[in-house]
């Protein structure tokens, strides 16, 4: 398929693009390259004949017209978004602009493309990728289904909820063939070091305190990013237009249990000389855990019911928490150049197509 991916230089986007390109799809990756967009996350994919990249803001209608005309996509997979809850509390407006206005601009650009190029809706799909945070916060039991009413709490989840509503409105009102997906917490290679998993790994390795918000009792469901990418492709290929699909990893954990588990895996993976050299012999990375001020409005628990996508589309996550988290730790241990450049700020040069040596 010819697929226009938005946000393909981000964490989930780059993992998805890698998979699509490897499977032979023609991909045009549109990314504005804001702070978390990083072309280094795509590496060798950049040279594939079935991959192209354009640094484009989805809010720029002229640039989007050119992108649609160049690719003539059969599908849009919309992942471009501001995604970090803490940042949305610090500065909500960027979330409104990227997630709400950006999505509406893209819906409009898609509608205009179908009309200008006389593409029948049956030959096109718009996959809007969203989050389980739109459903709000659960108590100790229950899980979100596709019919759970929306109840977002953070500026981030409110912006995603709004975008979901706009996407569905373009289906109901204009007949744009929209499908919405809502996923749980993703983790895996190339995740920007502001989210919990890379924060834990990198703080542990640097010997700094590992911050756990509040008492660490909040519960999240963890989905390995490659399983998520597989789910998105299953929805694109076999999902029903106008429907919503929840995508969860089936790995619910309290934050503190997860952080302790990651520390125990790190103890095993970073053993021997390095640990000795840092004077940590006989100690666990868990000793670095520090409880810090809680996130305002911190949702207690997310749990997702993935029965619909499992039963109707035959998708199942392949990674359990042991294999997924171990792979992730090993990836961060092997790919220091990737994250060190982010910590140093030098990865920004990648966006300009320049190397550090220039």
Ligand X SMILES: Cc1cn([C@H]2C[C@H](O)[C@@H](COP(=O)(O)OP(=O)(O)O[C@H]3O[C@H](C)C(=O)[C@H](O)[C@H]3O)O2)c(=O)[nH]c1=O
Q: At what angle do helices 196-206 and 321-334 cross, to 10 degrees?
A: 50
156 is annotated as an active-site residue: yes
**Using CB under 6 A, which residues numbered 255 to 294 contact ligand X?**
255
Nearer to ligand X, 26 or 162 (CB): 162
Q: Which residue is nearest to ligand X (CB)?
A: 131
**Using CB under 6 A, which residues numbered 132 to 161 contact ligand X?**
132-133
Minimal distance, residue 181 CB to ligand X, in Å: 11
Nearer to ligand X, 32 or 195 (CB): 195
Backbone angles phi, psi at 74, to 5 degrees: -95, -15
Q: How far is CA 81 from CA 100, 230, 253, 258, in A?
A: 9, 20, 25, 26
Tell which one of 153, 211, 348, 349 touches ligand X (CB under 6 A).
211
d(C-alpha 109, C-alpha 102), whole Å: 10
Tokens, residue 204 = 């542990």
Cα 172 vs. chain centroid, distance in angstroms? Answer: 27
Nearer to ligand X, 41 or 185 (CB): 185
31, 57, 82, 133: the catalytic one is: 133
Tell which one of 213, 286, 326, 348 touches ligand X (CB under 6 A).
213
**Location of structure tokens 């989007």:** 64
d(C-alpha 358, C-alpha 96), whole Å: 36
Tell which one of 104, 129, 178, 212 touches ligand X (CB under 6 A).
212
Site string for ligand X, 91-130 (x = CB under 6 A): ----------------------------------------
With contacts defined by CB under 6 A, name the span among 78-86, 103-111, 143-151, 161-169 that binds ligand X. Answer: 78-86
Nearer to ligand X, 86 or 269 (CB): 86
Q: Spell out the SS3 assignment of 262-296.
A: HHHHHHHHCCCHHHHHCCCCCCCHHHHEEEECCCC
Tell which one of 6, 38, 83, 110 touches ligand X (CB under 6 A).
83
Q: Is the dihedral of CA 94, 97, 100, 102 positive or negative?
A: negative
Per the CB < 8 A criterion, the answer to whether 51 and 20 are in contact is no
Backbone angles phi, psi at 156, to 5 degrees: -60, -55
The reply to whether 303 sits near ligand X by the rule CB under 6 A is no
Nearer to ligand X, 184 or 321 (CB): 184
Nearer to ligand X, 7 or 177 (CB): 7
Which DSSP category does 304 fall into? B
Backbone angles phi, psi at 137, to 5 degrees: -125, 140
The reply to whether 195 sits near ligand X by the rule CB under 6 A is yes
The footprint of ligand X (CB under 6 A) covers 83-85, 131-133, 184-185, 195-196, 199, 211-213, 218, 220, 255, 295
> Which sequence positions are flagged as catalytic?
132-133, 156
């Amino acid at each position: 398929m010819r697929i226009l991916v938005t946000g393909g230089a981000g964490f989930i986007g780059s993992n998805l693009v890698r998979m699509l390109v490897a499977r032979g799809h023609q991909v045009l990756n549109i990314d504005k390259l804001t702070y978390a967009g990083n072309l280094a996350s795509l590496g060798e994919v950049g040279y594939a004949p079935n991959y192209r990249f354009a640094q484009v803001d989805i809010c720029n209608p002229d640039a989007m017209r050119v992108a649609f005309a160049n690719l003539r996509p059969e599908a849009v997979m919309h992942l471009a978004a501001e995604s970090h809850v803490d940042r949305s509390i610090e500065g909500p407006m960027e979330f409104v602009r990227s997630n709400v206005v950006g999505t509406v601009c893209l819906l409009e650009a898609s509608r205009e493309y179908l009309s200008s190029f006389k593409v029948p809706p049956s030959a096109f799909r718009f996959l809007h990728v969203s989050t389980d945070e739109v459903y709000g916060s659960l108590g100790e039991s229950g899980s979100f289904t596709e019919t759970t009413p929306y109840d977002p709490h953070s500026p981030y989840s409110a912006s995603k909820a709004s975008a979901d509503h706009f996407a569905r409105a373009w289906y109901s009102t204009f007949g744009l063939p929209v499908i919405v997906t809502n996923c749980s917490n993703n983790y895996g290679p190339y995740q920007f070091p502001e989210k919990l998993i890379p924060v834990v790994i990198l703080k542990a390795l640097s010997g700094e305190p590992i911050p756990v918000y509040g008492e660490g009792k909040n519960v999240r469901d963890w989905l390995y990013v490659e399983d998520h990418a597989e789910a998105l492709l299953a929805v694109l290929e076999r999902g029903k237009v106008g429907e919503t699909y929840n995508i969860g990893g089936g790995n619910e954990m309290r934050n503190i249990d997860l952080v302790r588990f990651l520390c125990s895996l790190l103890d095993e993976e970073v053993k021997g000389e390095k640990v000795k050299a840092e004077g940590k012999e006989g100690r666990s990375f868990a000793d670095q855990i520090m409880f810090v001020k809680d996130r305002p409005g911190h949702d207690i628990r997310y749990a997702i019911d993935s029965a619909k996508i499992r039963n109707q589309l035959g998708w199942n996550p392949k990674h359990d928490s042991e294999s997924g988290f171990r792979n992730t730790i090993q990836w961060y241990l092997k790919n220091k150049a990737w994250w060190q450049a982010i910590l140093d700020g030098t990865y920004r040069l990648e966006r300009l197509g320049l190397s550090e040596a220039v």
